[in-house]
Amino acid sequence: MTTETVLRADSMLTPAGPVAPAELAFDETGRISYAGPPRDGSVVTHDLAGHALMPGLTNGHTHSAMTLQRGVSDDESFMQWLATVQGIEQRLTHDDLVAGLELALLEMIETGTVAFADMYYWDEALIERVRSAGMRVFAALACSATDHVAYPTVSPMTGGEVLDEVERLAEHYRDDPLVRVGFGPHAPYTCTPEFLREVRERALAGGIPIHTHVSESAAEVAQIREQYGKTPGEHLASLDFFDADVHAAHCVHLTASEISTFAETGTSISHNPVSNLKLGNGIAPFPEMIGAGLELAIGTDSVASNNSLDLFEELKHATILHRGARQDAAAVLGPQVLDIATRGGAAAIGFPESGALDVGRFADIVAVDLRGTAAAPLPSESLVAHLVYGATGRDVRHVFIGGRHVYADGEHLTLDADAVRERAREARARLVA
């Protein structure tokens, strides 16, 4: 006999639209078995009166261990900021990475994120920290050159050795529903064409995805034009880089031609509006990306360039930013952005069975508190608008990932929150001393 966990709530966001009142059930496999109006005779496991159920959010691009660098360079230009954070990275230890990663996991879970795409140093021990916490991760191992050691105080691995490690880890976690491992060549301006070709060849041979930065700043675009006579997207296309499964972060300065190339090759993009604004890098052509049918995600980037991992903040910015810039309230719509941050983002980073409250999908569920002043009054037909424009991560009260209850009424169930915060404070104090 199948055992169901049953959630009852005031409302629920399904692919067909809001349902109110609502019931959602999942079985012991962690997949949704029912999502609709309350059924007669159901044995309710969690009575979430005063809450709305929504799909878990997906962070399309971040560097999670950089939580230790929150606020280290808040008012510098992009290249100055990059130099500051890279200087700190030369002092990181593996224990620092653990502290920073677990702090990020805390913040993401308690603000409703269930999956994230990350580019940084990764190894099996760090991936296991994510699995233990219950989250889904697309872990891309950062690298930039065959002989370059990116994190010398963490590991002596060169870029070439990182590529070997990616292949090993990708095979080890190939069938894991929580983990996807990929190559993380930093960007066209830090990687040689020869290195990018090698990454492409290995990615195609092993069926391994790639996560990289593209056209984040105008300075980057100018540098690539000077070196190769092409834009970053054109340069990568000339290397047949997009033959592989590529997930590109930022893409602030894409041309119309590059957008077409990304659409034709199935290259996905993470739009990171707050980070792009904070670093003064510009406003990405997000409406054009939507119009071209690109596979899109919404990301925060690291807290060193954002200060927050709260995706609700990104939801609002990704919608209203482009309306204001275009002087057009229809430039980007709230339902579009919410779908990108859930179903679309999950698919973009390799978890297509997450991102929607629908039968057969993973039970990746967030319960948002509707009892606060900012949610009053709230007719059920306004649920999407509230989630995009009114809710914040502080309204999240429960999180389930694959049916596992990881956050319950403000309490972490898979992480020791107090201990994690204390370790992070100690590591930060040492790094900036």
Q: How confident is the model at residue 432 (pLDDT cuts 50, 70, 90)?
A: confident
Instruction: Determine the longest span between alpha carbons in the chain, in angstroms.
Output: 69
pLDDT at residue 195, rounded to an integer: 98
The rounded distance, in Å, linking the Cα atoms of 150 and 185 is: 11
145: left (phi over 0), alpha (psi -120 to 50) or beta: beta
The rounded distance, in Å, linking the Cα atoms of 299 and 286 is: 13
Give every CB contact of residue 313 below 8 A, 6+ residues apart in sequence: 274, 392, 393
Q: Are 248 and 267 in contact (CB under 8 A)?
A: yes
pLDDT at residue 2, rounded to an integer: 66
Cβ-based burial of 47 (10 A; exposed 0-12, middle 13-18, buried ≥19): exposed
279-302, pLDDT tens digit by residue?
Answer: 999 999 999 999 999 999 999 999
Q: Is the dihedral of CA 299, 165, 206, 239 positive or negative?
A: positive
**H or E element in which residue 102 lies:** helix 94-110
Would the pTM count as exceeding 0.85?
Answer: yes
Domain 5-55+354-412 class?
mainly beta
37-51, pLDDT tens digit by residue?
Answer: 999 999 999 999 999
Q: How confident is the model at residue 1 (pLDDT cuts 50, 70, 90)?
A: low
Q: Give me the architecture of the 57-349 domain, per CATH.
A: Alpha-Beta Barrel (3.20)
Half-sphere exposure of 285 (CA within 13 A, CB side): 16
Bridge partners for 408 per DSSP: 398, 411
The rounded distance, in Å, linking the Cα atoms of 227 and 196 is: 15
Q: List the one residue out of 101, 13, 108, 125 whose CA is nearest residue 382.
A: 13
pLDDT at 69 over 80: yes
Mean pLDDT check: name the lowest of 75-84, 135-144, 279-288.
75-84
- Give the position of tokens 């490690």: 165
Residue 113, amino acid = T
174-232, pLDDT tens digit by residue?
Answer: 999 999 999 999 999 999 999 999 999 999 999 999 999 999 999 999 999 999 999 99
The rounded distance, in Å, linking the Cα atoms of 279 and 257 is: 25
pLDDT at residue 62, rounded to an integer: 98
- Give the position of tokens 């790094």: 431
390-409, pLDDT tens digit by residue?
Answer: 999 999 999 999 999 999 99
Q: Which residue has the higher pLDDT, 24 or 85?
A: 24
Q: Residues for the chain: how many in total?
A: 433
373-387, pLDDT tens digit by residue?
Answer: 999 888 878 999 999
Q: Are 181 and 170 in contact (CB under 8 A)?
A: yes
- Sequence spans of domains, the chain: 5-55+354-412, 57-349
